[in-house]
Amino acid sequence: MFNLMKTAILMAAITALFMAIGSLMGGQTGMMLALAVAVAMNFFSYWFSDKMVLKMYNAREVDATSAPQFYRMVQDLAQRAGLPMPRVYVIDEDAPNAFATGRNPEHAAVAATTGIMRVLSERELRGVMAHELAHVRHRDILISTVSATMAGAISMLANFAMIFGGRDSEGRPANPIVGILVMLLAPLAASLIQMAISRSREFEADRGGAEISGDPRALASALEKIHAYARGIPMAAAERHPETAQMMIMNPLSGGGLRGLFSTHPATEERVQRLLAMAPGAQ
């Protein structure tokens, strides 16, 4: 129920952003048109955003024949978590990362890069996939997928407003400075909405993943390795679609500045410390 409420708040907040940009572009008419677009986008995001995100990353579905070891690992973890078997995907990317998507546990998918399979041991990879299945069990995969799709749409709409200009409530051309501010601030506002719900969600998925795998030290070790390798290996698809970065187990975006300041992921050091505190024998 709580995650359902968070999803509703997310959709309402992003719909409000759509309407504000629409109002700038075309006054009251633009606001109503933006509302209609937002409603359509919310509907589309609920039903199809998982397929859209998987396509962005050129993910290919695998099964027990094409990737037997990886598939059976996910199958075993899903059984331990009491979840239906998700669809399993592999992404041909050197950057080590993974994510889960789908609107509910019955329509879930998990994806991992070929890079993460090379970098991590089998035990560490189990910890990562358990983390992703914890996202599925907590039913927050819909939130991350919808927010990724809608944040991308807001960025495009803000750029559209900048290029074609806007109108005030009486139909007069809007101040171009306002258009520039909207182009800059609207995507930032969408990122802040994502950040507000993502950081605590990662801590919960770490905790849930450690419980599913029964090995918090393995997930802690995996996070440290991913953090070390990901900093030197850019993830091209994530750089093209930065709104999807919050879906990953580790922030895949390069560079600092605002991207670092408004990161949707908590500090790796803190995540590792919390996991190690869960390990047997920890004080």
How many Å apart are CA 225 and CA 8, to the nearest integer?
Answer: 35
DSSP 3-state assignment of 159?
helix
Phi, psi of 34, rounded to the nearest 5 degrees? -65, -35
DSSP 3-state assignment of 62?
strand
Is 132 among the catalytic positions?
A: yes
Structure tokens at 95: 């950057």
User: How many Cα atoms occupy the beta-carbon half-sphere of 52 within 13 Å?
Assistant: 21
Specify the DSSP class assigned to residue 172: P
Question: Whose CA is closest to 89, among 57, 115, 137?
Answer: 57
Q: In what order do the strands lie in the sheet with 108-113?
A: 60-62, 87-91, 108-113, 98-102
How many Å apart are CA 55 and CA 53, to the nearest integer?
Answer: 5
Q: Is 233 exposed, middle or buried (0-12, 13-18, 19+ CB in 10 A)?
A: middle
Active-site entry in 61, 106, 124, 132: 132
Please identify every residue annotated as catalytic.
132
